[in-house]
Amino acid sequence: MNRKPTMKELVAATQLSRATIDRVLNHRPGVNPKTVEVVQRAYSSLLVQAAGGVQLASVTQQASFSVVVQASEEYNESVIATAQKIKNQLDARNVSLDITSCSDVQDDDVVRLLYQQAEHADGIAVVAKNTPIINAAVQKLRQQGKHIVALVSDLDPDARDAYVGINNRAAGQAAGFILGRHLQHDTHASVAVIVGTLSYSCHDDREIGFRAQIRKTLPSVSVAEVISGNDNTQQTYDAAVQLLRNDPTLRAVYNVAGGNAGLAAALDECRSAIRPIVITHEINKVTEKLILAEKIDYILSQDIAKLLLETVDKLAAMKNNQAFASHTFLPIEILTRFTLPAL
C-alpha cells in the first residue's frame, strides 16, 4: 500500500490540532519551528509505514537499550517477564533490552539508575514519576545525546523525546463510562477513586478523565478521592479502609494505581450488603487472581509486549536518525474474567 497519511493519523501521531497540522502541510506562516518538525517527522514516519518500506525498528548494528521502571512490584515483575518472552524477537533485530526495576524508592535513586544505564545504553525508556528532579535528569541526559522515551506515564514533553503507552485520560473516561452505565438508575450512588500519587502523570490523567466522565453520566454523584501514597499493598489497604469507613454505602471504586491486593482485602473485611464495583489497571499475576476470584470486575490494561516493541521501534529510529512520532498511543484493553489474555 502506498498512500499519504490521513489527517486522523497525523492528529493521533502528533497530538496537535487539525488546524495546526493543516498550516504545516500547506506551508502557512505562524507555526513554531519545533511544531513544524514534529509534523514533518510524523508525516515521514507514516509514509514509510504505508509504503511497506524500511521498518522503524530495523537495526543494522547491535543496539543496547535500557528500561528503568519505577512502579509497583507486581508491575515491574510483569515487565521483566515480558521482556524475557520477546527476547527472540529482540535478538532478531540485533537489540538487547536491559530492564532495571525499582519500587518504593526515592526519586534520587531513580536518577542514579538512569545515569548508570546511560553509561552503556544507546537509548533509555523510563516509567517514572513526573517530578522536577526526574525531569531535570532526563533533560540533562538528552542534552548529552541520549534518547529518552517515557513509558506508561508521561514526563514533561520538553524533557523526553517521545511517549509510548495508552491515552491515560481516555482510560479514566472509559472507567467513568462503565460505572455510569452500571449505576445510571441508582440516584444515591457514591463512587471513589484511589490514587497512588499524583506525581505520576498517568494517575493524574486517569483521575481527570474519570471525573469528567462521571460528571457527564452521573451528574448528581460526587467522587471521593483517597491518596494511598504509593503503589504498594499496605498503603492501598490503609487508604481503602479509610474510604469504606467514611462511606459504607460506596457503590464503586476506581483504582488508578497498584496495590490491588490491599484494596481487595479491605473490601473483604468490610462485608457490605452490596460489594462495590471495582475497576483497576494492568493485568499481572496479582490482578489476574483477583479478577478470577471476582474481587475485581474490570481491568484497564495495555499489552506490555507491544509497549516494549514499540519502544524499541522508537529508540531504534532515533539511533538510526529515522523519523518517529512523538506519541504512540496503544489500544486500551478492557478485560473481564471472561476475556483474560494468557500471561
Map 17-36 to HEC letters. Answer: CHHHHHHHHCCCCCCCHHHH
Determine contact, residues 191/251, Cβ cutoff 8 Å: yes
pLDDT in tens, 190-203: 899 999 888 999 99
What percent of the chain stands above pLDDT 70? 94
Q: What is the DSSP letter of 161?
A: S
pLDDT in tens, 29-82: 778 877 887 888 788 777 766 655 444 444 446 899 999 999 988 999 999 999
**pLDDT on residue 59:** 44
Q: Exposed (0-12), middle (13-18) or buried (19+): which is 273, by Cβ within 10 Å?
A: exposed
pLDDT in tens, 149-167: 999 999 999 999 999 999 9
pLDDT, mean of residues 299-316: 96
Identify the CA nearest to 252 among candidates 206, 191, 210, 209. Answer: 191
How far apart (Å, rounded) are the C-alpha atoms in residues 305 and 80? 10
pLDDT, mean of residues 97-107: 90
Residue 100, pLDDT > 90, answer yes
What is the DSSP secondary-structure string of 259-291?
Answer: -HHHHHHHHHHH--SSPPEEEEE--SHHHHHHH
How far apart (Å, rounded) are the C-alpha atoms in residues 123 and 97? 10
Comparison of pLDDT for 220 and 282, the residue scoring more:
282
Determine contact, residues 83/308, Cβ cutoff 8 Å: yes
Q: What is the distance in angstroms between the CA of the first residue and the CA of the last residue of the chain?
A: 34
